[in-house]
Amino acid sequence: MTGSERPAVPEALLPELPALRALAIDLAQSAGRLVRAGRAETLATHGGVSVKSTRTDVVTAMDRACEEFLRERLATARPGDAVLGEEAGVAGTPGAVTWVVDPIDGTVNYLYGRPEYAVSVAAVIGDPCAPGAWTPVAGAVANPVLQEVYHAHLGGGAALRTPAGEVPLRVNDVRELALTLLATGFGYAADVRREQARALVGILPVVRDIRRGGSAALDLCAVASGVVDAYAERGVHPWDVAAGWIVAAEAGASVHAWDSGADRPLGLLAAPPMIAEPLHRLLLHAYGAARTEAGPDR
Ligand code: IPD
Ligand code: CA
């Protein structure tokens, strides 16, 4: 397990956390409305969809427009804070608070018209560009299609806001891996996916079943609301998970990184406390075996 180097929250920041949470909710909801309203036009526009790391790693003009919107709003509301976003990288020097934003998490779902996509906005401390050296303190994940927003701040609990009202969130009280419904996701590069698929050979027979929703941010919120029991994925980026992490943690999940070697990216797991350690061991074992089998093509 990694994370011992994660920064401690400065006491002076604690009274600010509810306001950071409120700002994250406002930004995620406003950006979500923009993203949803502009989908048809974005997809119909020549050049509205392009690709990044591989032919299946899509980015839309709306990903860029939404991130720009979030950056402008943050520049006004929190002019001194740095911002890290999926599309435009980092701006500013990480100080007391850095905002980590994913303008559309689940871009493939957005492209296909599936409802599982989200705008993710988090306030973190530490340096989100350094793996293992940051931690989220407040955040919101908005699902614009369902008009839902999950939100949390450190020590303040997690909640789901819908047009019908607001409910507090709590993870399931699952105690056995055999009864655990596990959400996961896959990267975009073929060699990354090959190893993830091989690891599943060790994981799938041990758990109740696997779910792949297509948005890491919503997967973490699903742990918080109990519509899955746990989530684990290797190779996620800070913008995919920062807001969902604080939501899951405040709903009672144990959330931490797992390390399967210096030449592999960190993984993130979120699970109810009783199964967090057994799940961690299973992941290390399954990814260890997958790596051995992967051979020289890695
Ligand atoms: C992806 C989603 C997906 C996860 C990938 C992420 P994107 O983000 O969160 O569920 O499996 O690892 O890259 O590309 O839709 O912003
Ligand atoms: Ca993402």
**Ligand 1 atom closest to Cα of residue 187:** 12
How does residue 296 score in pLDDT terms, banded at 50, 70 and 90? very low
Q: Which of 117, 105, 248, 228 is nearest to 170 (CA)?
A: 248
**Ligand 1 atom closest to Cα of residue 105:** 16
Query: Any idea which of 54-58, 124-128, 225-229 has the lowest mean pLDDT?
Result: 54-58
Read off the pLDDT of each residue in 257-286 and give the average, rounded to a whole number. Answer: 94
Single-letter amino acid code for the residue at 173:
D
Ligand 1 centroid, distance to 215 Cα (angstroms): 5
pLDDT surpasses 80 at 282 = yes
Query: Any idea which of 18-27, 93-102, 224-233 has the lowest mean pLDDT?
Result: 93-102
Identify which ligand lies nearest to the alpha carbon of 116. 1
Which residues, including other chains, have CB under 8 Å from residue 16's CB and lie 6 or more apart? none
**Ligand 1 atom closest to Cα of residue 185:** 11
Is the Cβ atom of 105 under 6 angstroms away from ligand 1? yes
Ligand 1 centroid, distance to 262 Cα (angstroms): 22
Nearest CA to ligand 1 atom 11: 185
Please report the beta strands in the chain, taking only residues with DSSP state E, as ranges in sequence order: 49-51, 58-60, 82-85, 89-91, 98-105, 118-126, 134-143, 148-153, 158-162, 165-168, 181-183, 209-211, 230-234, 254-258, 267-271
Ligand 1 centroid, distance to 193 Cα (angstroms): 13
Query: How far is residue 51's CA from residue 54's CA, in Å, rounded to a whole number?
Result: 7
In the numeric block, the tokens 């007391």 are attached to 96
Ligand 1 centroid, distance to 12 Cα (angstroms): 34
Nearest CA to ligand 1 atom 16: 105
How does residue 293 score in pLDDT terms, banded at 50, 70 and 90? low
- Model pLDDT for residues 69-110, shown as the tens digit of each residue: 999 999 999 999 999 999 888 888 878 899 999 999 999 999
Is the Cβ atom of 214 under 6 angstroms away from ligand 1? yes
Ligand 2 centroid, distance to 158 Cα (angstroms): 21
Is the Cβ atom of 185 under 6 angstroms away from ligand 1? yes
pLDDT at 1: 39
Neighbours of ion ligand 2 (CB under 5 A): 102, 105, 240
Is the Cβ atom of 240 under 6 angstroms away from ligand 1? yes
Read off the pLDDT of each residue in 150-178 and give the average, rounded to a whole number. Answer: 98
Q: What is the pTM of this model?
A: 0.95
Identify which ligand lies nearest to the alpha carbon of 108. 1
Is the Cβ atom of 85 under 6 angstroms away from ligand 1? no
How does residue 3 score in pLDDT terms, banded at 50, 70 and 90? very low
Ligand 2 centroid, distance to 120 Cα (angstroms): 8
